[in-house]
Amino acid sequence: MERIVVVGSGASGVHFALSCLLKGRAVTMLDVGFTGEPHPRPEDSLVGLKRNLADPVNYFLGPRYGSLALPGRHGEYYAFPPAKDHVFRPAGALQFQTNGFSPLSSFAAGGLAEVWTGGCYPFDDQDLRQFPFGWDQLETYYTRVAERIGISGTEDDLKSVLPLHGGLQPPLDADEHSAELLAAYARRRQHLNQRLGCLMGRARVAVLSRDLDGRKACGYSGRCLWGCPRQSLYTPAITLSRCRAFPNFQYLDGLYVDHFRISGSGKVRSVVVRRADGVMEEIAADALVLAAGTLGSAKIFLESLHRDSGQILSLSGLMDNRQILMPFVNLRMLGRKWNPDTYQYHQVAMAVRVRESGEMIHGLITTLKTALIHPLVQTLPFDLAGSLTAFRSVHAALGMININFPDYRRQENYVTLDTSSTPHRLAIHYQPDVSEPARLKQTIAAFRKVLWKLGCFAPRPMIHVRPMGASVHYAGTLPMSESGGAGSCTKHGASRDVDGLFFADGTTFPSLPAKNLTFTLMANATRIAEEAF
């Protein structure tokens, strides 16, 4: 039987692998595969952990307080807890040389989506206009993935920009602040729609509101950021576990993929990996599927072609969603009590058509519930005691919009191989479009107007434009197309440079709308597996 070798266990890799396994194909997955510790006291809520853990300071802040978002973090409001340290643990191999880009990578089992917040955004026909297929060809696979992982949501005003697919569970119970925002939208819906170009509704999130395949529905414990012990919040490690139950699946972890080798006829013949002890090993491959993330897959591709021909190639078109973090205060929620026993992440989504640019910009609203409060307390203009007193009165009223911008393939944004060091590094060059400063200013103004109509105030000095690369929505270096030449792939992810080589991650996206791409990564990988293998 032909052996399909998949590199990477992230969102793309595991759904590609599962789809092949369900068809009876044999799959070998190569991965570094770092894992974390088991969840402590799974029956406790977040408040219960603070009370019952033997050393809660170490669990929440780390032995050196590494999860504190202290002054000088350049406006970032989030830090990852020690329980997620394995997601960003370096493998000692992939290094970057960067210009205008702040990359993140992961060698964890499950990849970077082990720390995602579950936002599921289907691309509509407008989003897919540069793809070699449309919504009608992708809808089946959105439904397939939704049925596998469990996505909660409902039909509302956002259906015109977030098209409906099958497999949706009922929405989660809304926390009080989210319910207040939705009620304010309902009261001013006509004005917001017609005058401000705003649509608003329930976020679609990969969180169970009903039990599914042995996973439990959300228990509203507030532990989302630290890891869900009920597996209510989906991560790719869940699908990896399902793959490992198949007898025709082989998971080889502890391996860093360095490059692949090409036969004299121009076909992939093997993969060269570095074991944890530094020993190099060669693994035969009949078909090789790179799903190591856009940067990881690009590095393997460039390294492999350099070793085969001596060429140092450049892959243009690197994209990422620029993000804005916009904290706000809901004036109607001032002085109210807050409930820690709620779903922690976003429950409300928003789309705003910015009049000046014509762009549809998407945002996710997270109301502050059980997150650690030090990043916000430290920004208040009081001493510690005064800041804590002030914070208690506004805690229930605080929220944050994470705003995503679209991106487009441009020649000036590229990756190439830096051979000046050993091992070779991936060199990344990114510069924003000249129109970006004006578009950012226009979008900030548009969202602040919407918030004001909802009874909320967003202090301008607290708005933070994140560095390019911070969203980790990387895409575009080997785009899919109906026809193309070197440095591209077919609609089924087949490389036009090397026979037997496929890409199943964001590498293949020819454009990037203002939406989280993870759901589409999973659907597209499923489509490639079902249609091409």
Tens of pLDDT along 461-489? 889 999 999 999 999 999 999 988 899 99
| Structural tokens at position 177 | 């602040």
Q: Which phi and psi (to 5°) does residue 366 adopt?
A: -110, 120
Please report how the helices 518-532 and 135-149 are oriented relative to each other, as an axis angle in degrees rounded to 10: 110
**Residues 6+ away with beta carbon under 8 Å from 232:** 207, 208, 215, 216, 217, 218, 219
- Confidence check: pLDDT of 370 > 80: no
Banded model confidence at residue 378, pLDDT cuts 50, 70, 90: low
pLDDT tens per residue across span 398-454: 999 999 999 999 999 999 999 998 899 999 999 999 999 999 999 999 999 999 999
Q: What is the pLDDT of residue 376?
A: 61
Banded model confidence at residue 70, pLDDT cuts 50, 70, 90: low
Banded model confidence at residue 261, pLDDT cuts 50, 70, 90: very high
| pTM of the entire predicted model | 0.95
- Confidence check: pLDDT of 42 > 90: yes
Q: What is the pLDDT of residue 66?
A: 73
The three-class DSSP label of residue 448 is helix
Pairing of strands 323-330, 398-404: antiparallel
Alpha helices in 103-224 (DSSP H): 135-149, 176-187, 189-194
By the 8 A CB rule, do 336 and 392 touch? no
By the 8 A CB rule, do 237 and 109 touch? yes
Q: Can you spell out the DSSP letters for 169-235? A: EPPPPPPHHHHHHHHHHHHTHHHHHHTT-EEEEEPPBSB-SS-BTTBPPP---S-GGG--TT--B--
- Confidence check: pLDDT of 327 > 60: yes
Buried b (16+ CB within 10 A) or exposed e, 489-528: bbbbbbbbbbebbbbbbbbbbbbbbbbbbbbbbbbbbbbb
Mean pLDDT, the chain, whole residue set? 93
- Confidence check: pLDDT of 71 > 80: no
pLDDT tens per residue across span 296-313: 999 999 999 999 999 999
- Confidence check: pLDDT of 72 > 70: no
Average pLDDT over residues 24-39: 96
Alpha helices in 150-255 (DSSP H): 176-187, 189-194, 236-243
Average pLDDT over residues 274-295: 95
Question: Which of these ranges, 278-282, 370-374, 494-498, has the smallest mean pLDDT?
Answer: 370-374
Average pLDDT over residues 202-226: 96
Q: What is the pLDDT of residue 380?
A: 66
By the 8 A CB rule, do 353 and 392 touch? no
Whole-number percent of the chain with pLDDT over 90: 85
pLDDT tens per residue across span 136-193: 999 999 999 999 999 999 999 999 999 999 999 999 999 999 999 999 999 999 999 9
| Structural tokens at position 331 | 């004036």
CA atoms within 13 A of residue 429's CA, in its CB half-sphere = 13
Strands of the sheet with 268-275, listed across from one edge: 255-262, 268-275, 280-284
By the 8 A CB rule, do 400 and 365 touch? yes
Q: What is the DSSP letter of 475?
A: B
Pairing of strands 287-290, 3-7: parallel
Distances in Å between the Cα of 496 and the Cα atoms of 475, 488, 501, 503 are 18, 6, 9, 11
CA atoms within 13 A of residue 366's CA, in its CB half-sphere = 23
